Amino acid sequence: MIVRPATAADVPAIAAVYGHAVRHTVATFDLVDPPESYWLDKLASVQHGDHLLVVAGEDRVVGFAYSSAFRPRPAYAGTRETSVYLAPDAVGTGLGTAVYTELLRLLRTDRVHRAVAVIAQPNPASVALHERLGFELVGTLHEVGRKFDRWVDTNWYQLALEP
């Protein structure tokens, strides 16, 4: 498996991995799969600190991680929201750690100040990944999303990328 920047050819696989999360988990609050143009827009972003990486084997993409604007106002420019998604058969294999570690390396190279992650609960694998990589829990928003006929809490994590 290798970690590399995503290309347009990876978009269908990225959409498939994310689509599984949309339909079967609370890892995203999307209720329907976004169109491939959504991922192409992320891929095309030239905003400082925006990245889209994949982790792939010889035959397929099994996961991805990305960073994007935390909020649209200019004062937030030094902060990026980060996310990671894996195909179900790739969870627990270390591939999430690999792709996320590379994303954080790129953000440090970009001199991004903070990374922020939002983890819908329950998601013990994602919590473990973020904490292993140094993210700190900074708060919980209770019942802020509704999916699969139930209210869902989110935990907010942050990571200092610069001293």
- Give the span between the Cα atoms of 106 and 29, in whole angstroms: 26
pTM score of the predicted model:
0.95
Whether pLDDT at 90 is above 90: yes
**Residue 58's pLDDT band (cuts 50, 70, 90):** confident
What pLDDT does residue 85 have?
Answer: 97
Helix (H, G, I), strand (E, B) or coil at 117: strand
**Residue 57's pLDDT band (cuts 50, 70, 90):** confident
What ranges do the domains of the chain cover? 2-160
Whether pLDDT at 163 is above 80: no
- Give the span between the Cα atoms of 144 and 3, in whole angstroms: 33
The distance from CA 2 to its chain's CA centroid, rounded to whole angstroms, is: 17
- Give the span between the Cα atoms of 144 and 156, in whole angstroms: 12
Fold of 2-160: Aminopeptidase (3.40.630)
